[in-house]
Amino acid sequence: MSAAAGRQAARRSHRGRKRLRTVTSYALAVGGAVLFLLPLFWMVSSSLKPEYQVLQYPPRWLPDPIRWANYAEALTYVPFGRYTLNTLFIASMTIFGHLLSCTVVAYAFARLRAPGKEFLFLVLLATLMLPYPVTMIPIYIGFKTVGWVNSFLPLIVPAFFGSAFYIFLMRQFFLTLPLELEDAARVDGANTLQIIWHVILPISKPALATVAIFTFQASWNDFLGPLIYLHDQTKYTVSLGLSFFRSSYDVQWAYLMAASLVTMLPVIILFFFAQRLFIEGITLTGIKT
Amino acid sequence: MTLTGRAKALRRARRSTSLARREALTFYLLISPWLIGLLLFVLGPMVASLVVSFTRWDLLSPATFIGLQNYEKMLTRDPLFWQSLKVTAIYTCVYVPMELAGGLVLALLLNQRLRFEGVFRTIYYLPSVLPGVAFVVLWIWILHPDVGLLNTLLSYVGIQGPRWLADPGWALPALLMMSLWGLGRSMVIYLASLQGIPRHLYEAASIDGANSWQSFWKITIPLLTPTIFFNLVLSIISTFQTFTSAYVATDGGPLDSTLFYVLYLFRQAFQYFNMGYASALAWVLFLIILALTLLIVRSSGRWVFYEGERR
């Protein structure tokens, strides 16, 4: 009897401890979420404040009245529409270049046998770790020599020569595909390019989408590249435009927050729709080698 | 009979070598864009960078060969080189462990099969995908000494916050804090590999009487070491290249307290047009990162645990 009661008490205390742990976990997770969301909340709130409330002390948490006009004014203060079009152009060309080149190269690394392949694959992995600043200067001098500085070309053309990260990502994906379909196509007399186009690409949409999304994000977020190559204000990208906007004299914080939010918005929307692909892309290259 | 058999075998072998040769040819044709890119955008520039680093060159007049003078100046007569190296090293030494541990803590928190795990993951991960410049501009505003969010929150608990980005002593810690907002990236990588640890290992350990603390140190951590290794290398390489936050938030100031290495390199190259000196800086950066990476890879044999059966 007393033994049973003791066992019951032990079980109860075990359950109690477990519940305490769950409650603590939720409290920490919610606390963390609040910390991670606060900056975004602050940005939205500030972007909607009338001028006199932005620098008011002590600061207000919510704008009153809400001033939507900040957005319209901020986005016409500097030509953000133009910057957006420029960035979209660069991003879509870069996506096209990466999809074209990385697919072919990755397929070769995943499926074909050739002497020297292992060594070249190691070289590919090594270039993953090469910091951009190391090659930045000669590449700049090269583009300057061919007269491409102050054009979009230096930001677009390299994409057509592949990118180690995306080649690696796609190779990892191709390795998971079954061989039977390709063998069947080969028996039917298809050549390698036909196999890639008709057999591999239709079943590789997740990998293609991941490369497209990562490339879009990288182009949209890129700062150092546009900073080096684009001098003409009409050629600015959104990141460069925002930095220029911020350094211009006496700009209102409400405007800056509105412009920052607009710059973040495409990435946020993309992220909500394709979070799974973001995560798969990161883990595909991160965990398996 | 045997002769024709041998001839057949020989012919078959020859056909298979010619097939193999064709396959190899296809391989090299298909990877040719990457190979050309490797020459144009990686190997060529690296050699060129080394050559340029032995010259004085402003891109207007022809380059003059000056031997090792750039390197000599860097090591003996340029306090800003040492300052930028110091800033970057301090930042890396503090940020990398914080990212490794912080990302792991968040991942462990989410790995307890919480309800709304997906919502929490989205919230933690989101900041790390945001555009750098907008991210930094937002934080400049949060760190505003008088009406910023951070000092407002601090004032609620009776602390008068420092002037953050305007204070030489607080600017670097401020940038550090800002970067921690992007912790979600490493969390996602940890989370994926945590979810790959088979549950039966924990069940077996708990039958053997291990408590959760012991399971954590004897199962979770050893099985996570490949991921920790990956995050460590990635994190060091990227913190050594910190640029946007320093350029946009502080422009290296105040008093060069946030003069990051790549910012200094950028100034030498694209503001002062000292292409030779900037190339020397780039090569030193390359050697530092190479040495650090090799050091970690060398040490990995001792602390990185790979399962016998690798997929």
Same domain, A136 and A201: yes
Sign of CA dihedral A37, B179, B100, A122: positive
Full residue range of the structural domain in which residue B42 is found: 2-52
Instruction: Give residues with Cβ within 8 angstroms of A212, minimum separation 6.
Output: A95, A98, A99
Same domain, A10 and A118: no
The reported pLDDT for the residue numbered A6 is 66
- How many A-B residue pairs are in contact by the CB < 8 A criterion? 260
8 Å CB contact between A265 and B153: no
Same domain, B22 and B82: no
* Contact call for B59 and A141, based on CB within 8 A: yes
Q: What does the block give as tokens for A32?
A: 């963390």
> What are the distances in angstroms from CA A287 to CA A270, B228, B230, B231, B306?
24, 10, 8, 10, 12
Chain A residues in contact with B292 by the CB 8 A cut-off are none
Compute the distance between CA of residue A159 and CA of residue A9 in angstroms, rounded to an integer. Answer: 66
**Which H or E run contains B38?**
helix B2-38
Residue B265, burial from CB neighbour count under 10 angstroms (0-12, 13-18, 19+): buried
Same domain, A163 and A103: yes
* Contact call for A108 and B123, based on CB within 8 A: no
| Residue B232 within any structural domain of the chain | yes
Q: Kindly indicate the confidence band of residue B167, based on its pLDDT and cuts at 50, 70 and 90.
A: very high
* Contact call for B131 and A267, based on CB within 8 A: yes
- Looking up tokens 């986005």 gives A75
> What are the distances in angstroms from CA A120 to CA A114, A124, A149, B18?
10, 6, 31, 22
Same domain, B156 and B261: yes
* Gyration radius from chain A CA atoms: 26
Same domain, B48 and B113: no
| Residue A67 within any structural domain of the chain | no
8 Å CB contact between B131 and A238: yes
The reported pLDDT for the residue numbered A280 is 77
* Contact call for A161 and B59, based on CB within 8 A: no
Compute the distance between CA of residue B151 and CA of residue B168 in angstroms, rounded to an integer. Answer: 17
Task: Determine if the pTM surpasses 0.80.
Answer: yes
* Contact call for B33 and A223, based on CB within 8 A: no
Same domain, B217 and B298: yes
**From A33, A260, A271, residue closest to B134, measured CB to CB:** A260
| Residue A73 within any structural domain of the chain | no
φ/ψ of B65, rounded to 5, equals -75, 125
Domain CATH number, residue A266: 1.10.3720.10
Same domain, B224 and B172: yes
The reported pLDDT for the residue numbered B2 is 55
Report which of A22, A285, A94, A259 is spatially closest to residue A173, judged by C-alpha positions.
A285
Over residues B244-259, mean pLDDT: 92
Domain count, chain B: 2
pLDDT tens for each residue of B10-68: 677 776 788 889 899 999 999 999 999 999 999 999 999 999 999 999 988 888 999 99
Same domain, B20 and B139: no
8 Å CB contact between A74 and A258: yes
Domain count, chain A: 2
Same domain, B174 and B263: yes
B202 touches chain A (CB under 8 A): no
| Residue A66 within any structural domain of the chain | no
User: Interface pTM (ipTM) of the complex?
Assistant: 0.87
Compute the distance between CA of residue A133 and CA of residue B267 in angstroms, rounded to an integer. Answer: 12
Which of residues 16 through 45 in chain B touch A, CB cutoff 8 A? 20, 23-24, 26-28, 30-31, 33-38, 40-42, 44-45
Same domain, B162 and B235: yes
**pLDDT score of B308 more than 60:** no
* Contact call for A131 and B126, based on CB within 8 A: no
Domain CATH number, residue B293: 1.10.3720.10
Instruction: Give residues with Cβ within 8 angstroms of A261, minimum separation 6.
Output: A43, A44, A47, B134
Where does chain A have alpha helices with state H? 2-47, 51-54, 69-77, 80-111, 117-128, 132-145, 153-156, 164-175, 180-187, 192-195, 205-221, 224-229, 238-247, 253-286
Report which of A287, A165, A274 is spatially closest to residue B192, judged by C-alpha positions.
A287
Give me the amino acid identity at A271: F
Same domain, B86 and B187: yes
Give me the amino acid identity at A245: F
Same domain, A143 and A259: yes
Residue % of chain B over a pLDDT of 90:
62
**Rounded to the nearest 10 degrees, what angle do helices B184-194 and B221-239 cross at?**
160
Same domain, A30 and A122: no
Chain B residues in contact with A283 by the CB 8 A cut-off are 188-189, 192-193
* Contact call for B109 and A25, based on CB within 8 A: yes
Instruction: Give residues with Cβ within 8 angstroms of B243, minimum separation 6.
Output: A133, A223, A224, B260, B262, B263, B266
| Residue A184 within any structural domain of the chain | yes
| Residue B33 within any structural domain of the chain | yes
Chain B residues in contact with A261 by the CB 8 A cut-off are 134
* Among A57-61, B59-63, B267-271, B284-288, the least confident range: A57-61
| Residue A13 within any structural domain of the chain | yes
8 Å CB contact between B136 and B249: yes
* Contact call for A135 and B42, based on CB within 8 A: yes
**Which residue spans within chain B are E strands per DSSP?**
55-56, 64-65
Query: What secondary structure letter does DSSP report for B63?
Result: P
The reported pLDDT for the residue numbered A289 is 35
Same domain, B16 and B128: no
- Looking up tokens 């309800």 gives B115
Same domain, A120 and A232: yes
| Residue A245 within any structural domain of the chain | yes
Same domain, B47 and B192: no
| Residue A267 within any structural domain of the chain | yes
Full residue range of the structural domain in which residue A101 is found: 79-286
Nearest CA in chain B to A111: B27
Cβ density class B80-103: b for 16+ within 10 Å, e for less: ebebbbebbeebbeebbebbbebb
| Residue B59 within any structural domain of the chain | no
| Residue A114 within any structural domain of the chain | yes
Same domain, A38 and A92: no
The reported pLDDT for the residue numbered B127 is 93
Compute the distance between CA of residue B5 and CA of residue B284 in angstroms, rounded to an integer. Answer: 63
Instruction: Give residues with Cβ within 8 angstroms of A14, minimum separation 6.
Output: none
Each residue's pLDDT, cut to its tens digit, for chain A (289 residues) gives 456 666 676 666 777 877 888 888 899 999 999 999 999 999 999 999 988 888 887 888 888 888 898 899 888 888 999 999 999 999 999 999 999 999 999 999 999 999 999 999 999 999 988 888 889 999 999 999 999 999 999 999 999 999 999 999 999 889 888 888 888 898 988 888 999 999 999 999 889 999 999 999 999 999 999 999 999 999 999 999 999 998 886 778 999 999 999 999 999 998 888 888 887 777 766 544 3
Same domain, B20 and B83: no
Average pLDDT over chain B, rounded to whole? 90
A114-121 long-range contacts (CB < 8 A, ≥24 apart) are A114/B23, A114/B24, A114/B27, A114/B28, A115/B24, A117/B27, A120/B31, A120/B35
